[in-house]
Each structure stands twice: as C-alpha cells, then as structure tokens.
C-alpha cells in the first residue's frame, strides 16, 4: 500500500464548509441571471420556475461550472478555500474527465436517500462519500499547511 504522510483526508465538516462557499458563489451568479429572465415578481412570489431557461441556468450551468473546475483545478472554489483537492483514490493523480462526470452524477445518488451518501463522508475511514466511491476519488489536503511551523523559545 502506498501511504502518504504529506496528505490527509478531508472530513465531513470541512467539506460542508466548502459546499457552503460554493453554494453562495453559485447563487451570486445564478440569481441575477434568473432575475433578468423571470423578473423580480416571479422570483419573489415563490412560484416554481419552469422552462428551458430555468433548467439551463439552475441545473446545466452549475454542472458545467463544477466539472470544469474539477478538471482544471481538481477543486471548486470552496475546496480551494480549505486547501482541498480531488484525486484518484488509487494513484493520487488528477481524476479523469470520466471520473469527474461519474462523481457529479454520484451526488444525486448520494442525496436521494436522505443525504446518506453525503453523510457517509463522516463515517468512512477514507472520508469518501458515495459519489467518491462511485468515481474512485478521494478529497485530500496537505498536512501542516502553514508556511512555517510554530516554535517556542522556552
């Protein structure tokens, strides 16, 4: 087994934090577009938006953005903020496009049964959610990420 003492698996709460950052950033982009298409009355009324524009902006655009980030940076902005990257679980290398596509589709599988596949990150020894297991990926970050270790003179 090839072990790395340089990296650690990223756990549940850090990944929740990264997801919150990503969600906030995505909403900053999506709401103005939906506002421009549907207007303030329809958005404020709580009416369920329908039509091809909503599908494009609310589902397809986020999928493209996330997969592009995973391919280009091995992370979304939220994961970058916490110093995490997505890697192939066997090699530690950059995941393939196919793995990233499976990983994204795996989010739906992970959330349908009461988000159990996402909660699994907190249970699994390698901190893999079902989407990670399906795609053969893990989320890692460098240990001791500070620029200089703390030293005390006493």
Query: What does the pLDDT read at residue 4?
Result: 66
Residue 43 makes CB contacts below 8 A (sequence gap 6+) with 31, 34, 35, 49
Exposure b/e, 20-34, CB count within 10 A at least 16 = b: ebbeeebeeebeeeb
pLDDT tens by residue, 67-97? 999 999 999 999 999 999 999 999 999 999 9
What's the pLDDT at 54? 81
Q: Is 86 exposed, middle or buried (0-12, 13-18, 19+ CB in 10 A)?
A: buried
- pLDDT for position 1: 44
Return the pLDDT at 36. Answer: 86
Percent share of the chain, pLDDT over 90: 68
pLDDT of residue 154: 62
pTM of the model: 0.84
CB count, 10 Å around CB of 70?
24
Q: Using CA atoms, how far apart are residues 154 and 82, in angstroms rounded to an integer?
A: 32
| CA–CA separation, 26 and 8 (whole Å) | 27
Query: By CB neighbour count within 10 A (0-12 exposed, 13-18 middle, 19+ buried), where does 137 fall?
Result: buried
C-alpha–C-alpha distance, residues 114 and 23, integer Å = 19
Q: Output the pLDDT for position 148.
A: 64
- Lookup result for tokens 């340089």: 6
Stretches in the chain below the pLDDT threshold 70: 1-4, 42-44, 46-49, 145-152, 154
């Amino acid at each position: 087994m090839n072990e790395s003492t340089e990296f650690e698996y990223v756990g549940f709460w850090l990944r929740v934090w990264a997801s919150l950052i990503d969600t906030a950033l995505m909403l900053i982009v999506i709401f103005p577009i939906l506002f421009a298409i549907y207007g303030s009355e329809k958005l404020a009324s709580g009416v369920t938006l329908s039509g091809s524009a909503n599908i494009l902006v609310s589902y397809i655009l986020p999928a493209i953005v996330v997969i592009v980030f995973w391919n280009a940076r091995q992370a979304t902005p939220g994961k970058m903020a916490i110093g995490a990257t997505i890697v192939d679980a066997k090699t530690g290398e950059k995941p393939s496009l196919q793995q990233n596509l499976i990983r994204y589709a795996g989010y739906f599988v992970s959330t349908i049964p009461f988000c159990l596949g996402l909660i699994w990150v907190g249970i699994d020894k390698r901190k893999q959610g079902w989407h990670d297991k399906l795609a053969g990926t893990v989320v890692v970050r460098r240990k001791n990420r500070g620029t200089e270790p703390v030293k005390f003179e006493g």
